Structure 1
């Protein structure tokens, strides 16, 4: 399966969120390493997997996921 890899700035353009918001609020809270993004070759650069991000956005957060974060 082919994936579309995006930088933070490219993802920002697609989902209409500021790149800073993605880095500070969404990364590791809603978008997880190994699921929504990768660090190719063990480096610092982050590439988001568009298909997985889009799938998560369309599904939305389940209520039990949100409650689990509050406990």
Structure 2
């Protein structure tokens, strides 16, 4: 399945939030790096993975396999 990558501004437009709210309140609290967004090529730019953000909004959980200790 191909992923849809969005900038902060594009994501804000889709979910009707201010880009600043996404950066300051949602990122790293609700939207987790490596799950909901990536920093391609180790840079500063953030690309959100739309399908994972949408799943978080609809279901409220992250589908991650827990580590066995």
TM class, shorter-length: 0.7 to 0.9
Please report the RMSD computed on the Cα atoms of aligned residues, expressed in angstroms: 0.8
Structure 1 spans left out of the alignment, 5+ residues? 62-71
TM-score (norm 2): 0.86
CA distance in 2, matches of 1:60, 1:43: 28
CA distance in 1, matches of 2:14, 2:48: 12
Partner residue, 2:59: 59
Partner residue, 2:27: 27
Structure 2 spans left out of the alignment, 5+ residues? 62-69
TM-score (norm 1): 0.83
Partner residue, 1:43: 43
Greater share of residues in helix: 1
CA distance in 2, matches of 1:14, 1:60: 18
